[in-house]
Amino acid sequence: MRIAILASEGAPYVKSGGLGDVMEALPAALSRIEGNEVVLILPYYKKIKENPKYEVEQIAQFYVGLGWRQQYAGVMKLTNRTDGVQVYFIDNLYYFGGRDGAIYGDMDDAERFCFFSKACLDTLVNLDFIPDVIQCNDWQTALVPTALKAQYGPLLPNTRCMFTIHNVEYQGWAHGDFFDNVLALPWEYRGRLDMGGSVNLMKGAIECADLVTTVSESYAKELMYPYYAHGLDRVLSDAAWKLTGITNGIDTGTFNPETDPALPAHYSKKAFVKGKAACKAALQQEVGLPQKADVPLLVMVTRLAGHKGLDLLCYMARRLLWEEDCQLLILGTGEAHYEDYFRELAEEFPDRVSAQITFNLGLAARIYAGGDLYLMPSKSEPCGLSQMNAMRYGTVPVVHATGGLKDTVPGADENGENGLGFTFQSYNADDFLASLKRGLHLYRNDRKAFRALQKRGMEQDFSWDVPAQKYMDLFHKMLEQ
């Protein structure tokens, strides 16, 4: 099958969050399936351009029509990837190549990514790579299913399109004028993109895609409710017949405690106690916490964003530190008020709290390995990957039972039996604290049961092979539609 995957980020080239991880592992997993030809298209950001590791060759150039504009696009072919996935980068100095800083957050993001979406379709046509299916991701490529229907039908008549929602919070809103000014789609598509007079790119994608998926089964159900859907509950309920959840995997080749080069010691699911203890001691030293083997180390690797449940932690952190002998370590950057809060907490409790306000993949791996309990109290979580990384490294998750967290971390009972972690159902700080305390209690009073719980997590198969096959099944289904 010919598969084109379109996204605004993909590791190792560019990554701001989980989408980047998925765009590293899913194309690779699909290309391992016999008979598949997989192409991945990403923007040619300055960061990628300036990285000498990536060898590219320009193989096409053309102009992309955006309303009254004709914008240049160059297609850069990556020549030194060896796993069978063909990567192309879309080059445009104005939209991508000449901009410093974060990849999202500019005033003209809607225009930048609509340019990218159309350039992707033009690339497929220009290279004569006519895919059976296009799989596109989040609002940045949400114009693709709409443009495919509205404008590219004659060029790609048999190509089917799947739209995948990784996070419904970001939808690609634009002023109503954007429709004529930038998109210039046939008038009958105005209604499909309309939300109260504005343009909503994700709404158009949900309506126009042949199938819509999201990244866990529970999140697919939650998306029907206003509490989770950020205004798109009606649209998503209407599309329920074509909406499916496929829970992400993780890259088990990269995330492997037996081989991960970032770790100071290695261990396996069969023998992890010594190796994990060595990782914990080294981690405590690295982040400036006292090296105490028996004090439980609570860890978190996260974007410091509201929906990650940080308000719950902020609410009860002092009480937790007062009532429990434990250490707390947080790694991440994000909203300034959270960054300040955790810096202050670390100043107040220098021997017990460490705030690493930075983005550091090596340290993240050492945290997955060196921690005892992994906190993930997200208010909503489409899938979440780090709870799976943590389990793979033998760190027991404490999570809010929502979205992908609910699907990947079944709750253990008081004595640590049956589940994979500690969970709480209703989103409030006291319930979070109570589930955390169950974890701490087991760690202190029944180390054997705690280790059995760690082992069960390490034994789970979180590889991409199973989800990749589910994507294939849906691709086939689209082709039969």
- In angstroms, what is the minimal distance from the CB of 126 to ligand GLC? 29
142 is an interface residue for ligand GLC by CB under 6 A = no
Q: With CB under 6 A as the contact rule, which of the stretches 13-21, 253-261, 441-449, 472-480 interacts with ligand GLC?
A: 13-21
Residue 129: CB minimum distance to ligand GLC, A: 25
Task: Verify binding: residue 166, ligand GLC, rule CB under 6 A.
Answer: yes
Nearer to ligand GLC, 372 or 381 (CB): 381
Nearer to ligand GLC, 220 or 289 (CB): 220
Place of tokens 């999140």: 219
Site membership for ligand GLC, residue 250 (CB under 6 A): no
The reply to whether 296 sits near ligand GLC by the rule CB under 6 A is no
Could you write out the DSSP letters of every residue in 251-268? -TTTS-TTT-TT-SS---
CA trace torsion 281, 283, 286, 291 (10° rounding): -30
Nearest approach in angstroms of CB 221 to ligand GLC is: 15
In sequence order, the β-bridge partners of residue 66 are 69
215 belongs to the binding site for ligand GLC (CB under 6 A): yes
Q: Nearest approach, Cβ of 481 to ligand GLC (angstroms)?
A: 24
Q: What angle do CA 412, 326, 451 make, to 5 degrees?
A: 40
Interface with ligand GLC (CB under 6 A), residue from 86, 92, 167, 387: 167
Round to whole Å and give the CA distance between 432 and 434: 5
User: What would you report as the CA-atom Rg of the chain, rounded to the nearest whole angstrom?
Assistant: 23
Peptide bond into 296 cis (omega under 30): no
Distance in Å, CB of 151 to ligand GLC, minimum: 28
Is the CB of 275 or the CB of 404 nearer to ligand GLC?
404
- Residue 11 C-beta: closest distance to ligand GLC, Å: 11
Q: Is 382 in the site for ligand GLC (CB under 6 A)?
A: yes
Q: Where are the alpha helices (DSSP H) in 273-420?
A: 273-286, 310-323, 336-348, 361-370, 386-392, 403-408
User: Which of residues 371 and 404 has its CB atom nearest to ligand GLC in the complex?
Assistant: 404
Letters for 437-466 (x = contact with ligand GLC by CB under 6 A, - = none) are ------------------------------
Report the residue closest to ligand GLC, judged by CB: 18
Residues 6+ apart with CB under 8 A from 434: 424
Q: Which is nearer to ligand GLC, 18 or 332 (CB)?
A: 18
What are the C-alpha distances in Å from 463 to residues 15, 16, 30, 165, 453? 20, 21, 12, 20, 20
303, burial (CB in 10 Å: exposed 0-12, middle 13-18, buried 19+) = middle
Selected range binding ligand GLC among 41-49, 83-91, 379-387, 427-435, rule: CB under 6 A: 379-387
**What is the nearest approach in angstroms of ligand GLC to the Cβ of residue 328?**
23
Nearer to ligand GLC, 272 or 475 (CB): 475
Work out whether 248 is an interface residue with ligand GLC (CB under 6 A).
yes
Residue of 27, 74, 275, 384 that binds ligand GLC (CB under 6 A) = 384
Calpha distance 298→327 (Å, rounded): 6
Distance from C-alpha of 481 to C-alpha of 474, rounded to nearest angstrom: 10
| CA diameter of the chain | 70
Residue 383 binds ligand GLC, judged by CB under 6 A? yes
- In the complex with ligand GLC, the residue whose CB is nearer, 284 or 378, is 378
Our finding on whether 334 is near ligand GLC (CB under 6 A) is no
Residues 18-57 as x/- pattern, contact with ligand GLC by CB under 6 A: xx--x-----------------------------------
DSSP for residue 383: S
What mask of x and - would describe binding to ligand GLC in positions 399 to 438, judged by CB under 6 A?
-----x----------------------------------
Q: Report the residue from 342, 381, 396, 421 that binds ligand GLC according to the rule CB under 6 A.
A: 381
Q: Candidates 181-189, 196-204, 291-299, 380-388 — which segment interacts with ligand GLC by CB under 6 A?
A: 380-388
Of residues 370 and 404, the one with the C-beta less far from ligand GLC = 404
Round to whole Å and give the CA distance between 119 and 63.
8
Report the interhelical angle of 201-208 vs 143-150 (nearest 10°): 60
Burial class (CB in 10 A: 0-12, 13-18, 19+), 24: buried
Task: Please say which residue, 86 or 248, places its beta carbon nearer to ligand GLC.
Answer: 248
Cα 328 to chain centroid, rounded: 24
HSE of 16, CA atoms in CB hemisphere, 13 A? 14
Q: Are 209 and 147 in contact (CB under 8 A)?
A: no
User: Smallest distance from the beta carbon of 61 to ligand GLC, in angstroms?
Assistant: 32
Under the binding rule (CB under 6 A), the answer on residue 5 touching ligand GLC is no
Distance separating alpha carbons of residues 379 and 402, to the nearest angstrom: 8
Q: How far is CA 68 from CA 71, 92, 183, in A?
A: 10, 17, 9
Q: Is 245 in the site for ligand GLC (CB under 6 A)?
A: no
Q: Which residues bind ligand GLC (CB under 6 A)?
A: 17-19, 22, 166-167, 215, 248, 381-385, 404
